[in-house]
Amino acid sequence: MFTIDVFSGSLHLKYPYLGRSSHDRRGVNDLIWDGLPETLVLVFSTLLFTGLIGIPLGILAARSRNGLIDRVVRMLNAFGLAVPSFVATMFLAWSIGYLMHGVFGLPVTGNLFTYDVYAQEERLVLAHLILPMLALSVRPISVSTQLMRNSMVEVLDESYIRTARAKGLSEHQVFLKHALINAMAPMLGALTGWVASLMAGAMFVEFVFGFKGIGTLLLSAIEHQDFPVITGVTLLIVTVYVVTDEFTKVFLWKFNPSIKAA
């Protein structure tokens, strides 16, 4: 929390003291700070990958409404939503990480930051990020693709789109200047809303791929009934959810003034 000393005019940043782990007696704050960077890298990489795949697929499906591409995309979305996250995680680890290891060379397990004993420093190994990111992005990609498709279809049916076409604007101009910018608002809100959900949902993904982040820490705390750590991680996820929700409201209000922040 922020505290302001009205006499000296100084601003201090404080965070709650969460005690010590009942399992290894380390400070809960230290445990969280050790695992937080890797989980944040995983979450934001998943969000970036989701946007790069989901937005173009949704636009492509909307442009060919009720056509072959639209039907294929909707079928893939339904499949991605129906498959449980742990099934997708284990399938990717078995198929790409094990069976096709000779093709892609991706390790099944490994930490994002590994200690190099020869260089005496930590190294960032991005190869360990790819499979967890793919596993964690299956459901967000399906949701974002369907959301972008439905939003684009709804915008293309608006009266101002017909007016823009009647004025003689090309389909390309109508699409980029009028349809796309209005269809992006709910999509951006959905992407930022995934942050806390992905942090909570990363538990099984991090466990399978040996990714030492907040999810692995929470799973270990649940196994050992380490209530201080469980409380600390839960408080962190709730805080992230509240902050990102407020940020999303302000961002959408700036992005589209017709949207009023609640």
Q: What is the DSSP string of 16-48?
A: ----B-TTT--BHHHHHHHHHHHHHHHHHHHHH
CA dihedral for 188, 190, 191, 195, sign (positive or negative): positive
Q: Which of 247, 235, 147, 230 is nearest to 193 (CA)?
A: 247
Q: What confidence score (pLDDT) does residue 64 get?
A: 83
Which residues, including other chains, have CB under 8 Å from residue 118's CB and lie 6 or more apart? none
- pLDDT value at 249 more than 60: yes
Decide the pairing of beta strands 10-13 and 2-5: antiparallel
Decide the pairing of beta strands 113-116 and 2-5: unpaired
Q: What confidence score (pLDDT) does residue 8 get?
A: 52
- pLDDT value at 1 more than 50: no
User: Lowest-confidence range among 102-106, 124-128, 168-172?
Assistant: 168-172
User: Lowest-confidence range among 104-113, 216-225, 235-244?
Assistant: 104-113
Percent of the chain whose predicted confidence (pLDDT) is above 70: 86
The overall average pLDDT reported for the chain is: 80
pTM of the model: 0.80
Q: What confidence score (pLDDT) does residue 4 get?
A: 45
pLDDT digits (tens, 9 = 90+) for 231-242: 888 888 888 888
Cα–Cα distance between 51 and 91 in angstroms, integer? Answer: 23
Cα–Cα distance between 172 and 192 in angstroms, integer? Answer: 28
H or E stretch covering 122: strand 121-124
User: Lowest-confidence range among 60-69, 192-201, 215-224?
Assistant: 192-201
Q: Which CATH architecture has domain 19-255?
A: Orthogonal Bundle (1.10)
- pLDDT value at 255 more than 70: no
- pLDDT value at 118 more than 50: yes
pLDDT digits (tens, 9 = 90+) for 156-212: 888 877 887 788 777 777 777 777 777 777 777 776 677 877 887 788 888 888 888
Cβ atoms of 28 and 19 closer than 8 Å: yes
pLDDT digits (tens, 9 = 90+) for 75-91: 988 888 888 888 888 88
Cα–Cα distance between 137 and 43 in angstroms, integer? Answer: 9
Structure tokens at 190: 């959905």
Q: Region 56-76: what's the mean pLDDT?
A: 88
Q: What confidence score (pLDDT) does residue 49 get?
A: 92
User: Lowest-confidence range among 147-151, 169-173, 220-224?
Assistant: 169-173
- pLDDT value at 12 more than 80: no
Q: What confidence score (pLDDT) does residue 155 get?
A: 83
pLDDT digits (tens, 9 = 90+) for 13-45: 556 667 788 778 888 888 888 888 888 888 889
Q: What confidence score (pLDDT) does residue 6 get?
A: 45
